[in-house]
Amino acid sequence: MIHYFQTPIAAVSLPDKFTYPFHYTPHPLCITAAEEVKTYLSTQQAWQEEIAKGKMFGVLIVQTANQEIGYLAAFSGQLAGNNVHPFFVPPVYDLLQPDGFFKKEEQQISALNKKIEVLIANERIQQLKQDFRTMSLEAEKEIEQAKKEIKRAKQLREERRQRCTNSETLEQMIRESQFMKAELKRLEKRWKEALKPLEEELRSHDADLETLKAERKQRSADLQQRLFSAFKLWNARGEEKDLWAIFATTKVQTPPAGSGECAAPKLLQYAYIHHLKPIAMAEFWWGESPKGEVRKQGLFYPSCQGKCGPILGHMLQGLRVEENPLHQVIKGLPEPEIIYEDEWLLVVNKPAGLLSVPGKAETISSVLDFIRTHCCTATGPLVVHRLDMATSGLLLVAKTKAVHQNLQAQFKNRTIKKSYIALLEREISTTEGYIELPLAPDFLNRPRQIIDHLNGKPAVTHYRVLKTTEKGTRILFEPLTGRTHQLRVHAAHAEGLNAPIIGDELYGQRSDRLYLHAESLTFQHPITGESMTLTRKADF
């Protein structure tokens, strides 16, 4: 299963530590291994149609007990309806094996699905439901009419009572009232008896349906429980945990569907079982981008946080792993530049690579930390809005709570105007226009965003091309909404400009920086009422 390089690698040095899988630059050996995997894929004619639809592949550089260097390859999920192919490492657990519990139980659940479908589609039941609805409406109409007649007769009797003193006539009116009420009860009884056979048959049908659905639900839950228990994952210390144990300490607790089937866990599992030392790892996308997502063929991507985050957190124990590069980026960065300040607010120019506000890692500094030091007497929440860590440009800061609330209200009412300068990877066909693509979080792969036309929040961007060169396109973005990663996704997605911003490692490919800069900010001063426009030109 181990592949030895066809390309000479003697001059390539091994890394000191294993790849940090959630933010990395591929090691040269991983790049070479990926190219050899791509060459292999191009020879597999039977797979071309499926591969063209898009799939994630991974490579793991390994060292044998004899100090030989090679690589393993894997794919995420299934390939051509199978989990096992000779060129790639096997799955952690092959749920497709014919005699395995998963396929057997899947057949039972499929049989239940068919029974449920037959019950739902039963023509007699559909006709009964229609007959029941029709008769119920007729009954409701006739009973309502009878009640109206009783009410009208009662009013007439009341009028007669006021004029009549004859006891015999009064008794007759009482008997009339009693008769009409009795007739109403008899009418209701007749309709109830007429509807009863239909209702009983429908109730019996619904009970059978609910019984089957309950059995299906229980079988599915039991199957999931057993399946996640079957995924027993190792780490470099030789410790083994199943998916339930791995996810037990997370917020979700229940493993997401497909956990353990990504390329990275497959690669590490095979290496540990066969006593191969993991050296470096990378994953790349091949084929079309998934609907709603931004994936570019041939580019490398980090492991997903939702499924692989907890799994790799276990499987990498015992390895010397690189630190999160994001924790190192801010070293040596210049402080934010204050371009405007008065007693109520200030505007700073944030350098690329600096957080707007502190993240989970307390050791990483941010604009907020700088402001707290600079404005030691400020009492407000301070930072009014945010820029991505990789984005440079203007940030608005309030010194009091009242000013902060006023400025946030301006953002909410969309009266604050912002413009950004960006460099795109390639030339685009239009010179100006609007992009309207709704955005939603990719919950299993945060902080990435996806296009979701059904559930996404509206996101609108105006753009205007400023200049086109051999390096790409210089463009002005004016966001009319303020969604997370709005400009980055609108630029990169195929339904947008289909041209990632240079240096966008989430939706394009890494460069020396993300070439996105918040250049201009227009707002109304919360105290003076003055319309203010502040600008700081991009340094690229």
Picking from 314, 318, 284, the residue whose alpha carbon sits closest to that of residue 59 is: 284
Residues 6+ apart with CB under 8 A from 182: none
Whether 242 is a known active-site residue: answer no
Q: Are 326 and 23 in contact (CB under 8 A)?
A: yes
Q: Cα(first)–Cα(last) distance of the chain, in Å? A: 47
Please name every residue paired with 240 in a beta bridge, in sequence order, or none if there are none: 234
Decide the pairing of beta strands 516-524 and 392-398.
Answer: parallel
For 18, phi then psi, to 5°, come to -75, 155
208, 342, 388, 539: the active-site residue: 388
Following DSSP, what letter does each residue of 361-409 receive, concatenated?
A: -TTS-BHHHHHHHH-TT--S--B-S---TT-EEEEEEESSHHHHHHHHH
Distance set, CA 122 to CA 134, 140, 206, 209, 445 (Å): 19, 27, 12, 11, 42
28 sits in which H/E element: helix 28-42
Following DSSP, what letter does each residue of 423-448 receive, concatenated?
A: EESS--S-SEEEEE--EEE-TTSTT-
Distance set, CA 276 to CA 66, 67, 167, 265, 501 (Å): 10, 10, 109, 14, 39
* Token pair belonging to 252: 């979700």
Catalytic center residues? 388
